[in-house]
Structure 1
């Protein structure tokens, strides 16, 4: 391929895109929204928002439930997501409830517990460029909405309760819903439409930002728990391989700190035209971080998965995540892939070692990039090895 990939992501997307578009007749579409909504970020604080709906009826909930996608192929995910047509209209992010009927209907849609019948009337036929973003799930064509009809709703009573609590802070709402076993993706969707928070402070949050915000809020709270727990007794290595993304996770018996490093091969999402591997990484110590991670949403998605595991075990550890994104990862599918890949690794029994060197030797044997390259990039490993040298005297 001219783009350097083993398969062209544009062709993969275009085939599914066109298959859906031919089902849209004229300027209206009716179907069952999973439910799903999208809030854009360009032009902030004036943003485009609207429902995502496929031209099919029935239970479409799988189309906006990334927790259920692990194991599906790139083509299967593309087919699921590119079937969704996005209707959009422009609003200011602080538009209050009751002042815009379209926005109120989209907000109600986001709180639904089941698929919802939706009919959209467009100002022009859906079209548009593909969204290429590794933090947001892909979707298909879009068009400005003239009007919108939404069928009967069955609201999730837990989301609805948080929505009608005008004194509850947004972060507290997120944590209460997470503790109630609401899937993270549902919390993120409601968060994006400004469903939480003190009434006068409620805002629409671009979907890309809402995903990271919810991952960050939850993992920050879980970290408070982790820091109080006893330290693990051995070195552990966890693994997962999905969509040509290889994850190796090292847990070290020490106080909480966290580092995530990604290596993108030529022909992948963030290194499409390169001739060498590109690496990104971020680190935080025991007290956490006060600045946004340069890696973006992937850092917080993986941190959520790690803190979930440690809280479940009531243990504490230093954690290093190494990710190799190989050329088979031809197009971005969203930050959920990182969260679910790491969750998948941590659900499996780890390999346990008594010595750090043995754990490192095994972990690096499973990766394609040489050990020395990772060692030079990792702040955590440098600190651990330096500390070991000091204590050996």
Structure 2
């Protein structure tokens, strides 16, 4: 796991890129050279800072939820997420239950979650005390439990937004906190007590036995899984991507060898003013995520301030910014510029391929329209791609038919999707070669291996 985390740390500390596009950065890497994201500053300036409680004490039913910060790693702030209310709050930290909710619903729900925090060394177990153990126990708990926190100051502030993590409300340093006892999620409990099992195996065992991905991500971030001496706290945003990557790669170790699908498919779904189309191609494994961000969306500011550079900036006169990342048969070794969305969507595609015991090429086309006014986290990509792939696909006997349907439900022209797609461009080139020379008995794809076709 070290190599994957090293890539994420490298991305966090990236100094600059030639274009500095906001859609590449998404407020995570400060590619513009600023200390804080100008888009987020602009958004926060419109929000009213408000006190959550009139005292330094807060009690409520944690969903359960925990949050592990990333700034200053390995010296990071950790702590519980808790609302100022009691009852069944599970939905507040379970993204799998958010499909069908509006952005206003999600923000309103998450805005009430206060983040309590205290600082620890994420890697030094010898310095972890009672409060650290309480956070770990909370991360393993299945249902809401009562939490009481005493803060050094009143929690006060605005909702926190990020492209990788779910929104949450104000935060404050804690002097102390406690929780009631709760039943642990059984698969995660098994992983916690198996101190000889590596973290990857614990994640996969929990997932394949029915534990929700969001539950696994919390336990993973709180250092409760893996060989005892290697356990450490992992920033929440990193743990989300790491778990998606672990599951996706495990699927891919099998799905890339399955027989190919025998038709062209397009899956379509719309949610939160995001349009999704997943094109499935009858070919060996390859994958691509293409995102088209319209002006006045979360990561594409007003057209007049859009810098020129990567993608089809100002294409067909609309100031739409397009970014993409791809891989072919042998997968990719560098961390995707798009970030956690890439790994979440790749995992979702491979869930479907595993169910069907088939392989395919997959191109995910996403149009983010102006109604998508703020980032709400990677869950939005994972769950929307999952939902799209649960719809009945539109089937075609040619790529031309599939692209025709794509353009009937999306605004961006066919030529622009192709121009911004490594997978579609390569697929069309391969078809032209076969049309000219005839189809070979082997497919010498980008992996440069011979794959028997019959």
Bin the TM-score by the shorter chain: over 0.9
Quick one: which of 277, 284, 290 aligns to 1:248?
277
Return 5+ residue gaps in structure 1 as ranges: none
Instruction: Report the counterpart of residue 169 of structure 2 in structure 1.
Output: 140
What does the per-residue CA deviation read over 1:311-361, in whole Å, with 9 as the maximum and x for residues that have no partner? 011111000001011110011111101111111110011000011111111
Question: Aligned runs of 1:192-211 on 2, under 5 Å?
Answer: 192-211=221-240
TM-score by length of 2: 0.82
Residue 390 in 1 paired to residue 419 in 2?
no
Residue 312 in 1 paired to residue 355 in 2?
yes
Mean Cα deviation higher: 60-69 or 367-376: 367-376
Distance, in Å, in 2 between the alignment partners of 1:391 and 1:117 is 65
What does the per-residue CA deviation read over 1:82-103, in whole Å, with 9 as the maximum and x for residues that have no partner? 1101100000111327831111
Q: Offset of 1:10 from its aligned partner? A: 5.0
Distance, in Å, in 1 between the alignment partners of 2:221 and 2:429 is 43
Question: Aligned runs of 1:313-328 on 2, under 5 Å?
Answer: 313-328=356-371
Q: Secondary structure in 2 aligned to 1:282? A: strand
Residue 50 in 1 paired to residue 75 in 2?
no
Instruction: Report the counterpart of residue 339 of structure 1 in structure 2.
Output: 382
Instruction: Report the counterpart of residue 100 of structure 1 in structure 2.
Output: 129
Instruction: Report the counterpart of residue 117 of structure 1 in structure 2.
Output: 146
Return 5+ residue gaps in structure 2 as ranges: 1-38, 305-318, 437-454
Instruction: Report the counterpart of residue 90 of structure 1 in structure 2.
Output: 119
Q: Is the 1:13–1:82 Cα contact (8 Å) retained in structure 2? A: no
Distance, in Å, in 2 between the alignment partners of 1:146 and 1:377 is 51
The structure-2 alpha-carbon separation of the partners of 1:95 and 1:274, relative to structure 1 and needing over 3 Å to count, comes to farther
Instruction: Report the counterpart of residue 223 of structure 1 in structure 2.
Output: 252
Quick one: which of 390, 397, 409 aligns to 1:354?
397
Q: Secondary structure in 1 aligned to 2:156? A: coil
Residue 154 in 1 paired to residue 183 in 2?
yes
Q: Is the 2:273–2:372 Cα contact (8 Å) retained in structure 1? A: yes
TM-score by length of 1: 0.94
Q: Is the 1:98–1:104 Cα contact (8 Å) retained in structure 2? A: no
Distance, in Å, in 1 between the alignment partners of 2:375 and 2:124 is 32
Q: Offset of 1:182 from its aligned partner? A: 0.3
Quick one: which of 305, 314, 322 aligns to 1:279?
322
What does the per-residue CA deviation read over 1:131-173, in whole Å, with 9 as the maximum and x for residues that have no partner? 2211100000110000001111211122111011111111111
Quick one: which of 254, 261, 275 aligns to 1:232?
261
Runs of 4 or more, structure 1, over 2 Å off, are 8-14, 128-132, 272-275
Q: Offset of 1:370 from its aligned partner? A: 1.8
What does the per-residue CA deviation read over 1:180-232, in whole Å, with 9 as the maximum and x for residues that have no partner? 11000000010000111111111110000000000000000001111121111
Distance, in Å, in 1 between the alignment partners of 2:119 and 2:173 is 9
Q: Is the 2:294–2:300 Cα contact (8 Å) retained in structure 1? A: yes
Q: Offset of 1:9 from its aligned partner? A: 6.0
Q: Is the 2:47–2:158 Cα contact (8 Å) retained in structure 1? A: no
Q: Secondary structure in 2 aligned to 1:347? A: coil
The structure-2 alpha-carbon separation of the partners of 1:152 and 1:228, relative to structure 1 and needing over 3 Å to count, comes to same
Q: Is the 2:160–2:170 Cα contact (8 Å) retained in structure 1? A: no
Residue 39 in 1 paired to residue 68 in 2?
yes
Distance, in Å, in 2 between the alignment partners of 1:86 and 1:106 is 12
Tell me the number of residue pairs that the alignment of Structure 1 and Structure 2 aligns. Answer: 382
Residue 368 in 1 paired to residue 411 in 2?
yes
What does the per-residue CA deviation read over 1:364-383, in whole Å, with 9 as the maximum and x for residues that have no partner? 22111222221111000110
